[in-house]
Structure 1
Amino acid sequence: MYRTHNCGELRKKDIGKKVILSGWIQNIRNFGSLFFVDMRDYFGITQIILSKNLLKINNIIISLGKEFVIKIHGEVVERHSKNYNLNTGEIEIKVSKIEILNISIPLPFSIVNKTDGSEEDRMIYRYLDIRRSPIKNNLIIRHNISLMIRNFLSMKGFIEIETPVLIRHTSEGARNFVVPSRNHINKFYALPQSPQLFKQLLMIGGIDKYFQIVKCFRDEDARSDRQVEFTQVDCEMSFIDEKDILIFFETFIKFLFKKVKNIDLEPFPIISYFDSIKMYGTDSPDLRFGMKFFELNDLIQKKKIPFLIKQELIVGIKTKKCECCNTYNKINSILKNNINNERFFWIKHLSNKTFIFSNKSFLNEKVCFFITKHFKSDPGDLLFIVYGKKKESRSILHKIRSEIANHLNLKNNKEFKPLWIKDIPLFEWENNRYKSIHHPFTSPKEEDLHLLERNPENVRSKSYDLVINGIEIGSGSIRINKKNIQDIVFKHLGLSKEEIESNFSFFIKALTYGAPPHGGIAFGLDRLINLIEGGDDIKNFIAFPKNNYGKDVMVNSPSFLDNDKLNELHLRY
């Protein structure tokens, strides 16, 4: 028997019990004839006291070290110097027998909550990092949230169905990871970026509601909120429309926040893609702080302000009562390191008719008065204005808005502001061709169908993104369920009949067998958990993550294959 109890469960009521514990040595304090040891396992920490004599073998004292695995027999006694930060802090174990189950070499970093380990070391020795409570607890949180998701969706009539991992490569979307086939010479499988076509085929197959917590793979650059392999909560439903999806999954997200954080989220506003770009310069706006965009073109034309009158767009934001930024140098320092574009200026409203402002030839007290009046600015407010081409100007102002929010600590990670973005364009023009903004199977809006043949750039899609605090958490759409519409979409994407036949013939054929109206959504599980818990990196909620270069530095993958394996896979020519 390795243990009668774990290291997190003994309490004052257990005083006098004879117990056996097993675990790791977290810390050792040497008091001469006695050792005080913090003993840790998955469940917690218990202090044990052992006599130096217990470590004698043939009159030689056996050394103990951090992360040695030990088993002890002893009696639960009351602790004299209590530690109320521990659940077991009122008791300790007086050890009568100790057995060293395994030793540990010196550690690369401290196994404590606030470790001295670098991110690289923690990833190389991830199995040691998991011993730390923050990472262990994150994995427990992930398990609990995944279980809540499974139970919620199952209770609502969804069934979990696994879809294939080895699939066919297609050219649409992000880059696929490919897997060579040994038995089929010069042919390759691909790893799925999502189970998109398979979940649609399930709906065509008569399944009413499907979900899957599924691994997906994209061969693209990793970062703090993206991994080359990631997990998504994938859902699909038959006989539904956009409104049904938004209502149901708003309830789903509210359920998770209430269950996990006891937070009652307010109703999710719905903003069109075009309004989001116009008001915030992005399709993933953060609503925790204000600073909607003001357009000034009409004012500039009316007042005939030189230089600005020639600009395609003049757009700005107002930061209210920005008292910490009250000098020229302080205001300039907010953006100089992160916003390199020179096509913006600022105005600080000091009193009703006095200002400090950027060093621009077209700015003076009179111009500042006109602009601050247009913004309905009050003394203490700070304005930033960008000018130039429409798309570029809104993008720059979005970055400025985010930088100001960072500078003024307006991004409270305990506050959550979800919203839906919908009516996203079906296509975008990129590299002299049309490209699907979501994916090629997204349905156009009925009221835009008359534009699909000749004006595809003006067609809006029946798609929707869930954004929380400026982060895209979920994305989905109503799918195309009619072959003639799917054919037109493929044509605009530049796919030849041969490519369609080669890549999608099975799916096109399925659409001709009475495909029902259907749609769905997928949530990034790693991002969602990281957001709920106020984390700053999804890697902390993944057991064995890749680094920001897509490498697993613990097992050293990706790795080279030897010549024999390459020959077996027919990859050497």
Structure 2
Amino acid sequence: MHPYRSHTCAALTKADVGQTVRLSGWVHRVRDHGGILFIDLRDHYGVTQVLADPDSPVFAEVEKVRSEWVIRVDGEVKARDANLVNPNIPTGEIEVFIRDMEVLGASEELPLPVFGEQDYPEETRLRYRYIDLRREHMQRNMTLRSDVVASMRKRMWDKGFREYQTPIITASSPEGARDFLVPSRLHPGKFYALPQAPQQFKQLIMVSGFDKYFQIAPCFRDEDPRADRSPTDFYQLDMEMSFVTQQDVFDTIQPVLQGVFEEFGEGHKVDAEWPQISYADAALWYGTDKPDLRNPIRMQDVSEHFRGSGFAIFASLLEQDGNEIRAIPAPTGGSRKFCDRMNKFAQQQGLPGMGYIFWREAEKRTLGTPDAPPAPTMVVRDAETGDLRLETEKYMEAAGPLAKNIGPERTEAIRQQLGLGVGDAAFFLGGKPAAFEPVAGRARTVIGDELGLTEQDRYAFAWIVDFPMYEKEPESGKVDFSHNPFSMPQGGLEALEGDPLQVLGYQYDLACNGYEIVSGAIRNHKLDVMLKAFALAGYGEDEVRKRFGGMVNAFQYGAPPHGGCAAGIDRIVMLLADTANIREVIMFPMNQRAEDLMMQAPSDPTNEQLRELGLRLIPRD
């Protein structure tokens, strides 16, 4: 027999009754039932119940074991009584009577429990990650991640792609984040950089004549941490193709990712239609370039209804160029209580509040008042009794401070534009769109969630296209790239002769359920266009040639049109695992301060290391 196991802890069934078997694993929990000791023995594959009574030759040894000890047991497989069968596990029809036992690894008192899946402080979980990873949902998440990567690889190979590896130690490149620098021992005073992405190398692979490339690529960025982003490193499905258009890239990657979500989505609906939405429309309709299309709410520009109106705040805003008034429809949100709650939300976001209108059915009235005329009445005959009675007609009424200020005609025009009715509401924000769009986008999400409008069991995708190539720094007025600097501008060289802020790029992102999971572009493969594009962002030709010499030189010798994208594996697995914290799907993540508490990184270098590298640390004030 094997020295540690004849079966895993998920393998035994009723067909094995009577066999002598050997199992090894962790003691998940121990139960004492009237002198009989039951142990749930756990390994990576599952759990088997083993037991010992005073007749067992090792009963005294079994009494000593504690949670998370690693043990080997030999014993006889027995069938459980029918009323003791556990249908929730594969081994639920059997148990193993212990004849022999060996302690393979005793455990001290645990800093956090494995049994029961209790919530524990994240700092403790990361410091003792090897224990945290024993928990069932963490084992499930890491297995899911591995299976997703394997599925991606197979699907890419099936599409005619081959995997090629690119360097980890390379030169610095502007990818929109800070580099991790690596000092060179052989070249004192000089530094390598860990790649923020394999961007330049995968383009050079295309110049080298390889038609299709992909890689499960590690990327390194010194970023501020967020719940959906690692502060140090992440993995992506990186791909590139030659002689392709933007649509070719979409048509290639969609079946790969759609297949992955269908395979691992556990029955959730996976949308097959992936609309293409311009960046400008995404900002207008959703307040974000990564919209959650499970939420049907679409914001609209309602500026004309407030221009010159009695609501002075919005009317005066609209007298200034560039200001707009946007409406967030809220179907079924037509109550003052809900409107007040959303107004409070806006205040928590740093705004004075949100204007609102809600529509309700008017109350019956028999006498007119200065504010409300009498409701019309009519004589109707009761269908059952035949009796005649007077009945007050119902009518729709707009309520809220805005409705009172702008009057019934403007209020009705807004209602009709938004397609709302009785029981619905609308919320309003005004000013420079760039200033209020993020809050509007978050408000849209909260409204969709609180009113039950957002579908939960669904993966909804959208391509966001037509990104602006450039943006202007508000304070300095400096023009810089707003996205990937290596993208081809729409219109080529001619488009770069006009206003840079009007130039759109062949850049695209894929959004899923409110997260960006893919980013890509058709690349700028023409050297003259590339130099002009960088010049508009303040990079002279000499600097471009110095920083991107390999690519600049390569483009002089025949570069094909090419493009591609990268899909974030961590975020995709995060969505499939139904968690909003990316650290739940990374084996050994950093904490929020970019620290590895388990390995004590970052750490202080020794003086010898600094001398070898020719470095000296300067204390920060």
The verdict on a shared fold, with TM-score over 0.5 as the criterion, is yes
Q: CA shift at 1:482, angstroms?
A: 0.9
Asked if 1:173 is matched to 2:176, the reply is yes
Any conservation in 1 of the 2:296–2:453 contact (CA below 8 Å)?
Answer: no
Q: 2:426 aligns with which of 352, 370, 383?
A: 383
Residue of structure 1 equivalent to 2:109: 106
Question: What code does the residue aligned with 1:456 have?
Answer: P
Q: CA shift at 1:423, angstroms?
A: 1.0
Q: CA shift at 1:66, angstroms?
A: 0.5
Q: CA shift at 1:532, angstroms?
A: 2.4
Matches within 5 A, 1:467-486: 467-486=511-530
Question: What code does the residue aligned with 1:556 have?
Answer: Q
Q: CA shift at 1:55, angstroms?
A: 7.4
Residue of structure 2 equivalent to 1:249: 253
Given the two structures, how large is their TM-score scaled by the length of structure 1? 0.94
Secondary structure of the structure 1 residue equivalent to 2:449: helix
Residue of structure 2 equivalent to 1:64: 65
CA distance in 2, matches of 1:13, 1:340: 65
Matches within 5 A, 1:113-262: 113-171=116-174, 173-227=176-230, 228-261=232-265
Greater alpha carbon shift after TM alignment, 122-131 vs 335-344: 335-344
Q: CA shift at 1:373, angstroms?
A: 4.4
CA distance in 2, matches of 1:167, 1:230: 17
Matches within 5 A, 1:311-330: 311=317, 312-322=323-333, 325-327=335-337, 330=340
Q: 1:435 aligns with which of 480, 487, 490?
A: 480
Q: Aligned pair in 2 of structure 1 residues 464, 35: CA closer, same or farther (>3 Å)?
A: same
CA distance in 2, matches of 1:494, 1:14: 74
Secondary structure of the structure 2 residue equivalent to 1:315: strand
Greater alpha carbon shift after TM alignment, 478-487 vs 298-307: 298-307
Greater alpha carbon shift after TM alignment, 153-162 vs 252-261: 252-261
Deviations 1:184-221 (A, max 9, x none): 10111100000000000000000000000011011011
Any conservation in 2 of the 1:55–1:62 contact (CA below 8 Å)?
Answer: no
Secondary structure of the structure 1 residue equivalent to 2:50: strand
Residue of structure 1 equivalent to 2:42: 40
Q: CA shift at 1:438, angstroms?
A: 2.1
Matches within 5 A, 1:48-87: 48-52=50-54, 63-80=64-81, 81-87=84-90
CA distance in 2, matches of 1:486, 1:536: 38
Question: What code does the residue aligned with 1:105 have?
Answer: E
Q: Aligned pair in 2 of structure 1 residues 249, 159: CA closer, same or farther (>3 Å)?
A: same
Residue of structure 2 equivalent to 1:538: 582
Any conservation in 2 of the 1:110–1:116 contact (CA below 8 Å)?
Answer: no
Q: CA shift at 1:287, angstroms?
A: 1.1
Q: CA shift at 1:32, angstroms?
A: 4.9
Any conservation in 1 of the 2:73–2:101 contact (CA below 8 Å)?
Answer: yes
Deviations 1:115-150 (A, max 9, x none): 242222111111111111111111111111111111
Asked if 1:300 is matched to 2:306, the reply is yes
Q: CA shift at 1:167, angstroms?
A: 0.6
Q: CA shift at 1:370, angstroms?
A: 5.1
Secondary structure of the structure 2 residue equivalent to 1:354: strand
CA distance in 1, matches of 2:198, 2:514: 26
Matches within 5 A, 1:547-566: 547-566=591-610
Any conservation in 1 of the 2:493–2:532 contact (CA below 8 Å)?
Answer: no
Deviations 1:37-59 (A, max 9, x none): 111111111111113565769x8
Secondary structure of the structure 1 residue equivalent to 2:205: helix
Deviations 1:320-355 (A, max 9, x none): 1226x4437753566156332125311221224434
Question: What code does the residue aligned with 2:357 have?
Answer: I
Secondary structure of the structure 2 residue equivalent to 1:327: helix
Secondary structure of the structure 1 residue equivalent to 2:459: coil
Secondary structure of the structure 1 residue equivalent to 2:504: coil
Q: Aligned pair in 2 of structure 1 residues 198, 518: CA closer, same or farther (>3 Å)?
A: same
Higher Cα Rg, which structure: 2
Question: What code does the residue aligned with 2:149 have?
Answer: S
Q: Aligned pair in 2 of structure 1 residues 462, 66: CA closer, same or farther (>3 Å)?
A: same
Deviations 1:479-503 (A, max 9, x none): 0111100110121121133322321
Q: CA shift at 1:427, angstroms?
A: 1.1
Asked if 1:266 is matched to 2:309, the reply is no
CA distance in 2, matches of 1:222, 1:280: 24
CA distance in 1, matches of 2:478, 2:608: 42
Deviations 1:50-78 (A, max 9, x none): 13565769x89862111111111110001
Q: 1:519 aligns with which of 544, 558, 563?
A: 563
Residue of structure 2 equivalent to 1:491: 535
CA distance in 2, matches of 1:142, 1:172: 26
CA distance in 2, matches of 1:22, 1:563: 46
Q: Aligned pair in 2 of structure 1 residues 231, 248: CA closer, same or farther (>3 Å)?
A: same
Q: CA shift at 1:387, angstroms?
A: 1.4
CA distance in 1, matches of 2:301, 2:251: 33
Question: What code does the residue aligned with 1:551 have?
Answer: E
Residue of structure 1 equivalent to 2:352: 342
Any conservation in 2 of the 1:305–1:367 contact (CA below 8 Å)?
Answer: no
Asked if 1:12 is matched to 2:14, the reply is yes
Greater alpha carbon shift after TM alignment, 80-89 vs 386-395: 386-395
Q: Aligned pair in 2 of structure 1 residues 509, 151: CA closer, same or farther (>3 Å)?
A: same
Percentage of matched positions with identical amino acids: 34
Q: CA shift at 1:356, angstroms?
A: 3.7
CA distance in 1, matches of 2:417, 2:149: 50
CA distance in 2, matches of 1:35, 1:113: 19
Residue of structure 2 equivalent to 1:29: 31
Q: 2:613 aligns with which of 560, 569, 572?
A: 569
Any conservation in 2 of the 1:307–1:362 contact (CA below 8 Å)?
Answer: no
Q: CA shift at 1:428, angstroms?
A: 1.1
Greater alpha carbon shift after TM alignment, 333-342 vs 490-499: 333-342
CA distance in 1, matches of 2:441, 2:603: 40
CA distance in 1, matches of 2:549, 2:258: 40
Secondary structure of the structure 2 residue equivalent to 1:275: helix
Q: Aligned pair in 2 of structure 1 residues 566, 278: CA closer, same or farther (>3 Å)?
A: same
Any conservation in 1 of the 2:41–2:48 contact (CA below 8 Å)?
Answer: yes
CA distance in 1, matches of 2:438, 2:119: 38
Residue of structure 2 equivalent to 1:416: 459
Given the two structures, how large is their TM-score scaled by the length of structure 2? 0.87
Any conservation in 2 of the 1:335–1:403 contact (CA below 8 Å)?
Answer: no
Any conservation in 1 of the 2:26–2:69 contact (CA below 8 Å)?
Answer: yes
Q: Aligned pair in 2 of structure 1 residues 116, 534: CA closer, same or farther (>3 Å)?
A: closer
CA distance in 2, matches of 1:307, 1:541: 47
Any conservation in 2 of the 1:299–1:374 contact (CA below 8 Å)?
Answer: no
Q: Aligned pair in 2 of structure 1 residues 337, 72: CA closer, same or farther (>3 Å)?
A: farther
Q: Aligned pair in 2 of structure 1 residues 61, 444: CA closer, same or farther (>3 Å)?
A: closer
Q: CA shift at 1:270, angstroms?
A: 0.7
Question: What code does the residue aligned with 1:169 have?
Answer: S
Any conservation in 2 of the 1:343–1:387 contact (CA below 8 Å)?
Answer: no
Q: CA shift at 1:413, angstroms?
A: 4.0
Question: What code does the residue aligned with 2:105 have?
Answer: N
Secondary structure of the structure 1 residue equivalent to 2:226: coil
Q: Aligned pair in 2 of structure 1 residues 553, 409: CA closer, same or farther (>3 Å)?
A: farther
CA distance in 2, matches of 1:171, 1:473: 20
